[in-house]
Structure 1
């Protein structure tokens, strides 16, 4: 990727992000896992971002009233130091589910909906920015829409004075090409939000921390031959058990699983999510199964949900004979930190690798 300078205007493009501004020394480039990322300076506006189709939205200044579609987007803003700009969220994080002081900050954010924010409430929220995690996520049941109708149109967002941007690594996954095998798209989301909110320095530090964790895992397990790597099935318990929903090669979970030194049992299916039959899971007979449970709002409720998911696998005639079930290779890791963009994607890589390669990963 290249940066070009015309007079006093510097343009740097990264995975749909363009930061433009005048002044000496801005727009320096740094190394990224997939190309070169901008090292933007806090307050370096205007900034433009693109949506899943390439349509561009420009910010002349950092937004002051932000609504997030879910806990993942909220957490990223809190980590970036822009949490004081958030005026509301959907799918709020349960008390105690975010680490350290982030939890206290998150609990102060107004909850606009416990699920998808209704269209009318979103448009009337007074926000100047809406960060959307779900648009285009076919496996999430059209969660980009409002709870009482369709999602707002671009014209409705504009009329309400709300700019609409995406966590593209999650929301746009179904439109991608090829397998997702690293966290570069998540890093681009973090870099993008940092540029938009004027917190690029913090974004750079966060990305560096994630890369260090993943690099340590790669160093520990990278020498394992592909054929020797265990197969891994993400069991999306909350998507329903009558017909399993699997994570395919374009879904972020494929990258998390791959980086952890495993082989996604359904990496051969195109797209992000797909429904299959239990006979397909039985045919794969994975070495490990992740009990993918979404946050229930408390540690006790989450534990109960994990118990239920494990018991279902152990008691169901179609699954109780699976190798992973028989050997007790069942990992209790939340869905969100595996399938939705966030800092904890790197933590999940470590968690999975520690279980699959005991003694090798610190």
Structure 2
């Protein structure tokens, strides 16, 4: 299924992500809601986490051999300082897809699958933990075959957890309007890998950035905030894919002081029509382009996306296109859960609220 291929790639914007995943791990009431993690302090085991359905996974000690489903969960583990325990990944990061400070370490992680890791290879990897960024990746079918069952994971000695912010998105009761779920994922992985202090440091940095933006745009009434459309150029131009309210990007856009024009669509991503986009007539359009490995090539891709909108009959008359209101920020740090979501919040806010959010904030 093409949409799951895209969402599984760290270098791609996710499309139709569905399914049930991991815990939220906020460190509060461990049984307060599906996806919560039992309270734990650094080095405190056992650590118990639950998935969207409430099924619990308990860790008696930190895992020593980890496999990640794609570069998104890999990036989180590298940022936490647990990268030396990652023995393999699927959907490896593309050139330029990782932050510069993590790129060398990411390149050393063995690639177990260019897309979904084959069932036999995953079960025979020797891992004691498999981190899924998205649920049901095995449904891509075809030559990739079926995903392992939970019983098969258990028989192989592999604990299986998910990122709540992405895998459980379809089960959220409302839209993601802040990065609480992403931060909870970071904290949860910190508890599991015994890197709690680093997790708190990462979350604190994110909250400092987003908090400054929240304060700066607080005086702008919700109905006065600029409307915003994330245009996933790399997903194709025949039919646009809307970022819905339950997707991480909706939280990024909302925190930046803008209004996602498709926030009310059900789910996290949804195919729409160009007529739908025209009817919304957004004030700003983010050019959803993946990092191409160099500033020059990425800049070319951004310009290609902008030129398409200028030339395409359905969009060339849009206010944002006519006035050149394009936001050039990479897809990865907007639609894929991670520490860099906070950077996107700040970058978008500086663009759409230049009088309120200045460089250095």
Output the TM-score relative to the length of structure 1: 0.85
Cα offset, 1:146, TM superposition: 9.0
**Alpha-carbon contact 2:95-2:292 (below 8 Å) kept:** no
Written as runs of structure 1 = structure 2, the 5 A alignment for 1:180-195 is: 180-195=176-191
**Which 10-residue stretch deviates more, 145-154 or 166-175?**
145-154
**Alpha-carbon contact 2:213-2:256 (below 8 Å) kept:** yes
Cα offset, 1:124, TM superposition: 2.2
Q: Distance in 2 between matches of 1:345 and 1:319?
A: 28
**Alpha-carbon contact 2:116-2:144 (below 8 Å) kept:** no
Partner residue, 2:121: 121
The residue matched to 2:144 in structure 1 has which SS? coil
Matched, 1:221 2:217: yes
Partner residue, 1:149: 145
Matched, 1:257 2:253: yes
The residue matched to 2:206 in structure 1 has which SS? helix
**Structure 2 unmatched ranges of 5 or more:** 1-25
Matched, 1:315 2:334: no
**Which 10-residue stretch deviates more, 222-231 or 311-320?**
311-320
Partner residue, 1:43: 43
**Alpha-carbon contact 1:46-1:59 (below 8 Å) kept:** yes
From the superposition, tell whether residues 194 and 103 of structure 1 become closer, same or farther in structure 2 (CA, over 3 Å).
Answer: same
**Alpha-carbon contact 2:133-2:163 (below 8 Å) kept:** yes
- The alignment of Structure 1 onto Structure 2 pairs a total of residues equal to 333
The residue matched to 2:37 in structure 1 has which SS? strand
Cα offset, 1:338, TM superposition: 1.2
Give the number of the structure with larger relative contact order, counting CA–CA contacts within 8 Å between residues 6 or more apart: 2
Q: Distance in 2 between matches of 1:350 and 1:52?
A: 30
**Structure 1 unmatched ranges of 5 or more:** 5-10, 20-37
Q: Distance in 2 between matches of 1:231 and 1:356?
A: 10
**Alpha-carbon contact 1:187-1:207 (below 8 Å) kept:** yes
The residue matched to 1:74 in structure 2 has which SS? helix
**Alpha-carbon contact 1:248-1:270 (below 8 Å) kept:** yes
Q: Distance in 1 between matches of 2:298 and 2:68?
A: 23
**Which 10-residue stretch deviates more, 93-102 or 171-180?**
93-102
**Alpha-carbon contact 1:245-1:274 (below 8 Å) kept:** yes
From the superposition, tell whether residues 179 and 3 of structure 1 become closer, same or farther in structure 2 (CA, over 3 Å).
Answer: closer
**Alpha-carbon contact 1:117-1:146 (below 8 Å) kept:** no
Partner residue, 1:198: 194
Partner residue, 2:77: 77
Q: Distance in 2 between matches of 1:200 and 1:2?
A: 11
**Which 10-residue stretch deviates more, 290-299 or 110-119?**
290-299
From the superposition, tell whether residues 124 and 304 of structure 1 become closer, same or farther in structure 2 (CA, over 3 Å).
Answer: farther
Any idea what the Cα deviations from partners look like across 1:104-149, whole Å, max 9, x if unmatched? 1111111222322222322222211111112168xxx956x79612
Matched, 1:324 2:291: no
The residue matched to 1:18 in structure 2 has which SS? coil
Cα offset, 1:14, TM superposition: 7.5
**How much is the aligned-residue C-alpha RMSD, in angstroms?**
2.3
Q: Among residues 328, 334, 351, which one is paired with 1:338 in the alignment? A: 334
Written as runs of structure 1 = structure 2, the 5 A alignment for 1:38-187 is: 38=39, 40-135=40-135, 148-187=144-183
From the superposition, tell whether residues 273 and 259 of structure 1 become closer, same or farther in structure 2 (CA, over 3 Å).
Answer: same
Partner residue, 1:8: none
Matched, 1:283 2:302: no
From the superposition, tell whether residues 258 and 242 of structure 1 become closer, same or farther in structure 2 (CA, over 3 Å).
Answer: same
From the superposition, tell whether residues 13 and 60 of structure 1 become closer, same or farther in structure 2 (CA, over 3 Å).
Answer: farther
Cα offset, 1:298, TM superposition: 4.7
Any idea what the Cα deviations from partners look like across 1:295-315, whole Å, max 9, x if unmatched? 445545433432332222222
From the superposition, tell whether residues 2 and 216 of structure 1 become closer, same or farther in structure 2 (CA, over 3 Å).
Answer: closer
From the superposition, tell whether residues 178 and 68 of structure 1 become closer, same or farther in structure 2 (CA, over 3 Å).
Answer: same
Q: Among residues 37, 42, 45, which one is paired with 1:18 in the alignment? A: 37
**Alpha-carbon contact 1:94-1:298 (below 8 Å) kept:** no
Cα offset, 1:96, TM superposition: 4.4
Cα offset, 1:44, TM superposition: 1.0
